[in-house]
Amino acid sequence: MKVQVCIIGGGPSGLLLSQLLHLKGIDTIVLEKYSRDHVLARIRAGVLEHGFAKLMREAECGERMDREGEIHDGFEIAHDGVLDRVDLHKYSGGNSVLVYGQTEITRDLYEARDRAGGKVVHNAEDVTPFDLKSDKPYVTYRHNGETTRVDCDYIVGADGFHGVSRKSIPKDVLREYEKVYPFGWLGVLSRTKPVNPELIYVKHERGFALCSMRSQVLSRYYVQVPLTDKVEDWSDDAFWAELKRRLPEQVASRLITGPSIEKSIAPLRSFVAEPMSYGRLFLAGDAAHIVPPTGARGLNSAASDIYYLYHAMLAHYHKGDDSGLAGYSAKALARIWKAQRFSWWMTMMLHRFPDRLEYEDRLQQTELSYLFSSEAAQRMLAENYVGLPF
């Protein structure tokens, strides 16, 4: 089989790039390790930068997103028993974010690839890239017991943190930066009306909490828990009781509870791999970087990678200009490190750290006090939250 671009990973990043390139006449194949049902069962981020939403529209996949997504012009931070609102629209030059679940994004992208007759192979096993430094790289994979070779011009690794793509870069070339946080987020999805029209981030002496949503009838809530906790340790009743303890009284009193339809614990990690390219291989999304979910940068950072790759490949195939491909890693990493800084800052400001000094507690309090006393500080937060320019 011969295609122009072989994409490893059938999550939103790989599917979005495949769809964008297809619309410009560039042939791709997507190789996904798991089934479509498995991919669509993942419960992930739901806050989209305005730039990501624009990219979905360019991919002709934004109709349902625009119809069902919730436009948010701000969010609230609860601390010391009070609520302070961050006005994203005011402090970011009129921009906002769109709340629309990653599962729905992925479903929209799958449907678009189906309509276009796109090549998406699920349950692709033993995916292996070869000859990355040559001008004729290729990928092999096994499906239904049969091994297939895909010859291509370029390989894009969008196969997540545990995928094969990053591991294909020699260890003496790759440099990895990592910070693992000493806690996780216990998340519950419930078919209940959200407690607030906008997201609420909660800083509390018992630990962080977040009130989020997927729609007006589907809520997503989180509480900070120790890494030693397991999902089985938390009944629904125990979760709701702990969430209420961390919310301001006026919010807790209107919280609607119900049976969880999904419950999981996500560890928090910051991770960056450099470079994001090696020969004819380009990394994108979680294959190259991970951020804590506090600043809602994960999926959005992946989208910026896809933006740069898409435009670099257009320049190569339509104009014979390879400068975008040559500069992809440096350009992507410049924005990624800014997302890392913002996510780290949000995480450090809002979480309760074990063995933290009283001095550091006072610094947290001072950080929040300064944030809501300074328009410049709120502008910094808003500009990062709605998304820095690509």
pLDDT range class, residue 81, cuts 50, 70, 90: confident
Domain count within the chain: 2
The string of pLDDT tens digits covering residues 282-315 is 999 999 999 999 998 999 999 999 999 999 999 9
The residue count of the chain comes to 390
pLDDT range class, residue 128, cuts 50, 70, 90: very high
Looking at the structure, do residues 33 and 100 belong to the same domain, yes or no? yes
How much is the mean pLDDT over the chain?
96
Cα–Cα nearest to 367, from 352, 353, 377 = 377
* pLDDT above 80: residue 185: yes
- pLDDT score for 35: 96
- pLDDT score for 387: 96
Looking at the structure, do residues 9 and 118 belong to the same domain, yes or no? yes
Looking at the structure, do residues 36 and 146 belong to the same domain, yes or no? yes
**How far apart are the C-alpha atoms of 52 and 9, rounded to whole Å?**
19
Looking at the structure, do residues 248 and 337 belong to the same domain, yes or no? no
- pLDDT score for 336: 98
CB 256 within 8 A of CB 195: yes
- Both structure tokens of 278: 């090696």
Averaged pLDDT, 238-263:
97
Domain contains 83: no
* pLDDT above 90: residue 386: yes
The string of pLDDT tens digits covering residues 34-57 is 999 999 987 776 899 999 999 999
Q: pTM value? A: 0.95
For residue 252, CA distances in Å to 166, 205, 215, 243, 256 come to 44, 16, 20, 8, 9
Quickly tell me which residue has 């599917």 as its tokens.
Answer: 15
Looking at the structure, do residues 44 and 191 belong to the same domain, yes or no? no
- pLDDT score for 44: 73
Domain contains 110: yes
| CATH number of 233's domain | 3.30.9.10
Looking at the structure, do residues 234 and 147 belong to the same domain, yes or no? no
Domain contains 80: no
Q: Are strands 125-130 and 138-143 parallel, antiparallel or unpaired?
A: antiparallel
| CATH number of 37's domain | 3.50.50.60
Looking at the structure, do residues 245 and 263 belong to the same domain, yes or no? yes
More confident: 5 or 45: 5
Domain contains 77: no
- pLDDT score for 267: 94
Looking at the structure, do residues 112 and 228 belong to the same domain, yes or no? no
Averaged pLDDT, 119-141:
98
For residue 21, CA distances in Å to 39, 230, 328 come to 22, 42, 16
CB 17 within 8 A of CB 69: no
pLDDT range class, residue 240, cuts 50, 70, 90: very high
- Amino acid code (one letter) for 48: L
Averaged pLDDT, 159-176:
97
Looking at the structure, do residues 170 and 225 belong to the same domain, yes or no? no
Domain contains 257: yes
**How far apart are the C-alpha atoms of 191 and 342, rounded to whole Å?**
31
Q: Which of 212-216, 326-330, 361-365 has the lowest mean pLDDT?
A: 212-216
- pLDDT score for 312: 98
The string of pLDDT tens digits covering residues 57-72 is 999 999 999 999 999 9
- Amino acid code (one letter) for 79: H
Averaged pLDDT, 245-258:
97
Averaged pLDDT, 208-223:
94
Cα–Cα nearest to 279, from 162, 170, 161 = 170
Cα–Cα nearest to 382, from 121, 63, 85 = 85
Looking at the structure, do residues 51 and 126 belong to the same domain, yes or no? yes
Domain contains 344: yes
- pLDDT score for 276: 98
**By CB neighbour count within 10 A (0-12 exposed, 13-18 middle, 19+ buried), where does 284 fall?**
buried
**How far apart are the C-alpha atoms of 88 and 274, rounded to whole Å?**
32
* pLDDT above 80: residue 111: yes
Averaged pLDDT, 347-358:
94
The string of pLDDT tens digits covering residues 187-197 is 999 999 999 99
- pLDDT score for 46: 84
Q: Which range marks the domain in which residue 212 is found?
A: 181-268+355-386
Looking at the structure, do residues 195 and 275 belong to the same domain, yes or no? no
**How far apart are the C-alpha atoms of 143 and 147, rounded to whole Å?**
6
Domain contains 203: yes
Residue 352 has what DSSP assignment? P
Averaged pLDDT, 358-367:
94
Tell me which H or E stretch contains 25.
Answer: none
Residue spans of beta strands (DSSP E) within the chain = 5-8, 28-31, 47-48, 70-72, 74-79, 82-87, 97-99, 119-121, 125-130, 138-143, 146-151, 154-157, 175-190, 200-203, 209-215, 218-225, 260-274, 277-278, 281-283, 289-290
Residue 231 has what DSSP assignment? G
Q: Which residues contact 163 (CB under 8 A, 6 or more apart)?
A: 8, 9, 33, 157, 287
* pLDDT above 80: residue 265: yes
Domain contains 81: no
Looking at the structure, do residues 226 and 173 belong to the same domain, yes or no? no
